[in-house]
Structure 1
Amino acid sequence: MNCLLWNIRGLGNTKSLQRLHTLVDRHRVNILAIFEPMTVLDHRFMTSQLGFHQVISNSNNKIWVFSSEDVKVERLLDHDQFLHLRVSAAFLPADVFYSFVYAKCDHIERRHLWDSLIQAKPASGPWLVGGDFNVVRDASECLGTSGGRSLPMEEFNDFILQSGLVDAGFEGSSFTWTNKSIWKRLDRVFVSVDWGDHFHSIRIQHLPRTVSDHCPLLASAPIFARGPSSFRFQSMWIRHHGFLQTVRLNWHLPCHLTGMPRLFAKLKRLKNHLKWWNRDVFGNIFDKINEAEKLVRLAEVTCENDPSDLSWQSLSKCNADLANVTAMEDDFWKQKAACNWLEDGESTTRI
C-alpha cells in the first residue's frame, strides 16, 4: 500500500503535472494527497490525467486526495486544516484511517487543528496522520534559524502525546521544506501505536525536491500474501547503505506484547519486512552487477573524451560502487556454498 503526500505549491503548470505523474507511476501509488494545489479542482480532468479513479477535496479546496480503483475511500470528517478518511480494500488486513493535514501558519489557528484531530482519533484500527504541519518539534529540525518560539513546538508535542501517535521516521533529506536560506522539517507522517498490529512496517521516504519548495513524502506499508515462504538472512545485505536504518525503524515500531512473546512478534515482523525490503529495495544482485559495470564503461569513455578532474572523480565513484556490489555478490556465493555444504552433509548423515 503506497501513499504519496506532497505540498506541491501549485498544480496548474505542466512541469508539476509531469513530475507528479512520474512519481505516481514509478511508485505505484494507491493514495495521493496534494496540499495547496492553488487551482480549481476539475475532478474528471485531474483523475484522468494522473490515472486515478476518484478524488476528494476538503471544504476550502486546500487538500485533494486521489485514490486508485482498487481502494474504497469514505470521507469521515471535512475540516479546513485536515481531511479525515477511512480506506478499505480487499488486500488490506483492516480498514485504515487517514488524516491528511495542511496546517495553518499561525499557531493560534493550529490549536483548533490539534483539538479536532484528537477528537477524530479512531477508537481502534490503524491510523495514519500526515502532511504539512507548518511547525517543527524542536530546533534540531531547522537549519539556518533557531526554529522560532518554543510555545508552538510545545503545543505540537503535546498534541502528539495526547493523540498517542508515533513519528514514523524517514529516509532521505533531514528537511522537507526550504526557501534556499532556511531548511525545516515541516512535513511528516505519524502512525497510531497499534499500527504494528496490522502492518509489518511503514517506510517514509523524503523524495527529491523539485518544482516545489516542499519535498514529496512516500509512505509504503508492505502487505504480504498469506502462505508459507522460506526466509534466510543474506549477509550481503549488511553492505547496503540503508540496511541498518530499515532494521532500526522496523524494530522500534510499537508492540504491545511483553517478554518472550514480544521478542518473537518483533522478530517475525522484521523477517517479513526484510522479505519485502530484499525484493523492492535491495533488488537482484546480478542486475546490480550488470548496471554497475555499464556505468563504469560509460565513465571510462567520458574520461577518454574529457580527462578532467570531474570525470575522474565520477569514474572513481563508479569503480567504488562496482567494488561494493562485487563484494555483495561474493558474500552471496560464500553463503550459498556454505548452505549447500550443510545440506549435503545433512543428507549424508541421514543416509
Structure 2
Amino acid sequence: MGNKPSVRRLRSLILSTKVDVVGIAEPIIPFQKAGRLMKKIGMSGVVSNGEAHGHKLWVFWRQDAQVRVMDSHEQFVTLECRIGSEKAVLVSFVHALCSFYKRWLLWNALLDQGIDASTPWAISGDFNAILSPGKKVGGRQMIYRASPFKFQQMWITHPGFKECVRLCWENQVYGLPLQILYLKLKALHIRLKAWNKSVFGNIHQNARNAEDMVVRAEIEAEQAPSDDSRRALKNARTNLHDVLLQEEIFWKQKSRVRWLKKGERNTIFFHTAINVQRCIGRVEKIRDANGEWIQGTENIALEVARFFADAFSSQGVTQDADLLDFIPRVVTDEDNAALLHIPSLDEVKEAVFALSQDSAPGPDGFSGYFFTSCWEIIGGDVWRAIEDFFLRGLASKGIHISKSGSHPQKGEPRGNL
C-alpha cells in the first residue's frame, strides 16, 4: 500500500464490488498513514490488530457501517459489523503465520472467542496454506509426509475398541509366525486410523461440543423441568465427563508425564509440558570439528550427516583373528543356555506386562499399553513370533525384537517388540 498503483487498484476493487468492510494484511506502511489511505479509498473508519501485534492487519469500513472490535490477536482481528438496520454479523480477518504450530494456535484462538453459534460469522484473509504444491510460488520445495501412526491410550476408553481389534486380528494371514505378527499389526494400524477418524474425530472439538450440550441441557431443564429433560442433562454430563477424560489421556500421553496421579483434570499442565519438551528438543546451533558454531536448519543437517558419515566410515582397520584368543571367556555354558532358552507364554506375558504404559511406541507405532490391554486377543501371536525368533534366529522386515523383551532386568523391567 506504499505506492499509488496499489492504492488505485484497491480503490477500483472497492468501487466495483461495493463492499462496506475491507481488510488488508501486511500493508507494509506505518499505521500512522492509515488515515490518509482511508480517505483515498473512500472509507470513513479504520482499525488494526494492535500495536502489540505490529499493526499487521488493517480493517476499513464505510460511513454507514457500525463496527466494533470484539477481539484482537497476532494473527486475526474479529469485528462486529452492522450495516444500517440489518442484523449484526461477526467478521474475522486473518493473516496466518507460516509455522504449522502457529496456525494451530490461530484456530484454537478463533474457537476460544466464545462466539454464539446463532450469530453469523465469516472468516476471511490470508491463511498461508495451499491446496496443492502447484499453487506454491518460490521458497523451498514442499514435501508432504503422511503422519506416522501412534497408538492412542484414549482409544481404550471406548467400548468398541477391543471389538475393532478382534475383528481385524481374526482375519486369516499366512506366513511364518514373525511375518504373521508383522502383517497383522500393519493391518491393524490401518484399521485403527480409520476407526479413530470415524469414532473420535477431533477430541478437542468434541470437548467443546459436549460443553455446549451440557449448557443447553441445563437451560432446558430449568425452563421446562421434566423427567426427559433431567435425563437428557444427566446423559450430557456423562458424555462430557467421558470426552474430557479422553482429552486428558491424550495430553498426558503426549507429554509423557508419568509421576502425576489420576484424578483432577490436568490438561493445561500436560499442554505446558509438551511445549517445554519442544523447546528443550529444539537444536538452534551446533559446533563443528573446527570449533565453529553452525546455525540454520540446512547447515545443521549437513554437519550432522558429515559427522556420522566420518564416524562410521572405514579407516583401513586391520583385522587380526588371533586377538580373539586373548579375550577372557565371561559367559559360561549355563549362562549361554539360559540366553538361548525359548521363553514360555507366561514369561513372554510377564515381560510384556512389565512394559511402562507411557513408554514411547516402537517403530510400528504400538506402545506397551496396547499389548497389555489387548493381550487376550494378540498374546498367542506375540508368543509364537518370539518362539519363532528363538528357533530360527531371524527377524522379518519391520520387526524389531530385543532380548530384554523376554528377560527383564532388575529394577524397572523394560523391553520392546
TM-score after normalising by structure 2: 0.32
Report which structure shows greater RCO (CA 8 Å, sep ≥6).
1
Name whichever structure is richer in helix by fraction.
2
Q: Which has the larger radius of gyration?
A: 2
